[in-house]
Structure 1
Amino acid sequence: MSQRKVTMQVIADTVGVSKYVVSKTLNNKLGVSEATRQKILFTAKQLGYSKDGPSEGPSLPLETEIENGYILVVLPNYEYQSISYTYWGAVFQGISLHIQSKKAGMIVITSEMDLSKKVDVPNLIGIITVGTVDEQTLLALSTYNLPIVTLDHEARIIRADSIFMDNLGGIERMTDHLIGLGHKQLLFVGNIHYSQSFYERWIGFRNSLEKADIPLTQGNQKILTIPYDDNMEANLQQHFEELRIHSTDFPTAFVCANDHIARRMIVLLEQNGLACPTDISVTGFDSLEEDKHLSPALTTVQVLKQVMGRRAVDRLVWRAKNRDYPSEKILIVGDITFNESIDAPKKR
């Protein structure tokens, strides 16, 4: 089968502009906005356009050599690389092992360091950031002019790929299941300003309630905002008392932003004379190994922590070879692990 000739009209149809605008752009004429010009040039390159006829395909950068190269990994602090740091330690382990498997090297720094002086390392391939990184750090990293992949953080001020768990979809499916069991009095527990992940999980919870026509009015508050710190239990207890813990208005299910909060919630419920799930259902998010021996076993969304780390390395290598493609936000879907901590609501 003969290859279809890539003409200006084909490019125009792909981009959604006129052939005249494409012609002006490809002939370097004035009168085309910079955003449209860049889109046309990118599309022409990917389609293999040539004034002399069709090319063999998109012209990609030369193969980037990762073996014997180095990847710069930026952590909020050095504790993130400890496997005892149950969430980020596993993510970091995934990054480290996958870099080793590719026979490359790794340099670890923290965002607390002074980045006004660049890390001077030959054969630096790119940068992976782990967790929340402030804008000043991201701007400093962008001066390296290397591909950047961020984990669990969306870099809005620089060009970078980002990788997240499907936080919104995971909590939405979890909440859908609770509603299917008959729960109507549900409460989301977590500080939505703590991280992008916590905020997305709140949005997923809210979406599920809206689909089920469960109102989110001020008089029927559906979120319990608590600081994610060592004073969490004291703050929860205060909120419990305000919610009238033994009243019929008390929630029948708590949808928690992560497993740490969920486990503390279960303990506090027991201290107040309520059992999980007999009286109250509780769900988490993360599927932490340290929680798997505790009772009741927690219903949670499984976060593939090492997979996230490996995916960041693979994405960085791909991006190093494909610098012209637009930045992408990648979602990794986690399965729900149904365990003992949920049940149909108890009649009150």
Structure 2
Amino acid sequence: MQQIADHLGVSKFVVSKALSGKGGVNETTKNRVIEAASQLGYFAQKNAYIKNQVDSQFYSEASGKQSVIVLMPNIRFQTRESLYWGRIMEGISVELERRGLGVVIISESRVDNIIHVLNPGGILGMVGVGQIDSSLLLEVHRLGIPTVLVDHEDALIPTDTVFANNMDSLSRLCNHLIGFGHKKLCFLGDLSFSRSFRDRWLGFRDALERSGLEVQQADDPMLWLQGVETGEYADELTAILQTKQKENTLPTALVCANDSIALRVVSILQDIGVSVPEQISVTGFDNIDDAARSEVSMTTVNVPKEAIGRRAVKKLMERIEQPEMAIEKILMSTELVLRESTGAAVGG
């Protein structure tokens, strides 16, 4: 802690408070301490946090079963009602039930509001689903609670993770479009939104570069759409597409970071008089139920959502049984689902 304090030019007391998770330090300073601690190897040291002494005979009084916490903070529409997150939660619940384990689902995102639940002597482990704040993950890590994250990772705090194979999947999707004669492809999303979005962009870029096609510049506004979870980017995107329409520079294919964006894009294109797929092909990602039900059924990538949830539980059990094993990042295979929203490029 003294090394961290010297590195940041703060007192050891400030470092101690930031790493304790007990408050008393502003968020900016706390995040700086966490980042410096990670860079200096603090979290890699076995004596840097409390080792989890899980009582194998612990049973939840409420359920009569051994219990696992499932943390899915209610941010960015990460809820059980979500067409994406809900299916992952279903997979987690089914696998826990199959193993005779109880589950405590937490949607709270503030550390101080759930700290009383994080009792290392009273839970087997935790599965984190979606975006989770670093300070909360730090508290879980500090307590030594075995943890697996789904569709999220934190560069500062080492944990096992489970993702869809986003890069490879998007690359295969683009290769399919390129095979249909598409040479002007654009990616739509917000690269700052999640690790999955960034990995999908990397797969998109890799496919185009390998085919010798032009790739969007990093400052292209279509890569930084604000409010992708709410659709508030719609007016901005409409203006961008209308301008391209007037300049006759519309791409032949729009590759969207997820199905929700793709469905909204199809609606925008129809509103401005551009037909899908006759003039532009549109693709999504995730294969949520609405992708098949839409007026123009969506070509997408099927993410095995329930299987991801089940695999996260299996990984957690492996971690509990073998705490010294190397940390793993598990990539689940996907498959392309070809529907009406894609076709041959105009003139292709």
Q: TM-score range by the shorter chain?
A: 0.7 to 0.9
Structural RMSD (CA): 2.7
What CA distance in whole angstroms lies between the structure 2 residues aligned with 1:220 and 1:347?
29
Q: Cα distance, 1:295 vs. partner?
A: 2.4
Q: Cα distance, 1:288 vs. partner?
A: 0.7
Aligned partner of 2:105 in structure 1 is: 108
Residues 213 and 275 (structure 1), Cα distance of their counterparts in 2 relative to 1, 3 Å cut: same
Aligned partner of 1:252 in structure 2 is: 252
Residues 221 and 301 (structure 1), Cα distance of their counterparts in 2 relative to 1, 3 Å cut: same
Answer yes or no: is the 8 Å Cα contact 1:262–1:282 preserved in 2.
yes
What CA distance in whole angstroms lies between the structure 1 residues aligned with 2:294 and 2:58?
43
Aligned partner of 1:48 in structure 2 is: none
Task: State yes or no: 1:73 paired with 2:73.
Answer: no
Aligned partner of 1:261 in structure 2 is: 261
Answer yes or no: is the 8 Å Cα contact 1:253–1:281 preserved in 2.
yes
The correspondence of residues 107-186 of structure 1 with structure 2, limited to 5 A, is 107-109=104-106, 110-114=108-112, 115-120=114-119, 122-186=121-185
Q: Which runs of 5+ in 1 are unaligned?
A: 1-34, 39-63
Q: Specify the SS of the correspondent of 2:254.
A: strand
Aligned partner of 1:207 in structure 2 is: 206
Q: Specify the SS of the correspondent of 1:320.
A: helix
Residue by residue, what CA displacement relative to the aligned partner does 1:98-148 show, whole Å, maximum 9, x if unpaired? 111111111122223524445347551111100011110110111221211
AA of the residue aligned to 1:192: L
Q: Cα distance, 1:220 vs. partner?
A: 11
Q: Cα distance, 1:241 vs. partner?
A: 2.6
Residues 121 and 232 (structure 1), Cα distance of their counterparts in 2 relative to 1, 3 Å cut: same
Residues 189 and 304 (structure 1), Cα distance of their counterparts in 2 relative to 1, 3 Å cut: same
Aligned partner of 1:191 in structure 2 is: 190
What CA distance in whole angstroms lies between the structure 2 residues aligned with 1:219 and 1:139?
32
What TM-score does the superposition give when structure 1 sets the normalisation length? 0.76
What CA distance in whole angstroms lies between the structure 1 residues aligned with 2:221 and 2:118?
47
Aligned partner of 1:16 in structure 2 is: none
Q: Specify the SS of the correspondent of 1:238.
A: helix
Q: Cα distance, 1:81 vs. partner?
A: 4.4
Q: Specify the SS of the correspondent of 2:343.
A: coil
Answer yes or no: is the 8 Å Cα contact 1:66–1:102 preserved in 2.
no
AA of the residue aligned to 1:173: R
Number of residue pairs the alignment of both structures matches: 287
Q: Which runs of 5+ in 2 are unaligned?
A: 1-40, 45-55, 60-64
Answer yes or no: is the 8 Å Cα contact 1:278–1:343 preserved in 2.
yes
Q: Specify the SS of the correspondent of 1:324.
A: coil
Aligned partner of 2:325 in structure 1 is: 325
Q: Cα distance, 1:232 vs. partner?
A: 2.4
What CA distance in whole angstroms lies between the structure 1 residues aligned with 2:231 and 2:334?
28
Q: Cα distance, 1:214 vs. partner?
A: 1.0
Answer yes or no: is the 8 Å Cα contact 2:92–2:310 preserved in 1.
yes
Residue by residue, what CA displacement relative to the aligned partner does 1:164-195 show, whole Å, maximum 9, x if unpaired? 00111111100011111111111000001111
Answer yes or no: is the 8 Å Cα contact 1:167–1:197 preserved in 2.
yes
Q: Specify the SS of the correspondent of 2:325.
A: coil
Residue by residue, what CA displacement relative to the aligned partner does 1:47-70 show, whole Å, maximum 9, x if unpaired? xxxxxxxxxxxxxxxxx7899321
Which of 80, 86, 89 does residue 89 from structure 1 map onto? 86
Q: Specify the SS of the correspondent of 1:127.
A: strand
Answer yes or no: is the 8 Å Cα contact 1:81–1:93 preserved in 2.
no
Answer yes or no: is the 8 Å Cα contact 1:216–1:222 preserved in 2.
no
Q: Cα distance, 1:163 vs. partner?
A: 0.4
What TM-score does the superposition give when structure 2 sets the normalisation length? 0.76
AA of the residue aligned to 1:239: I
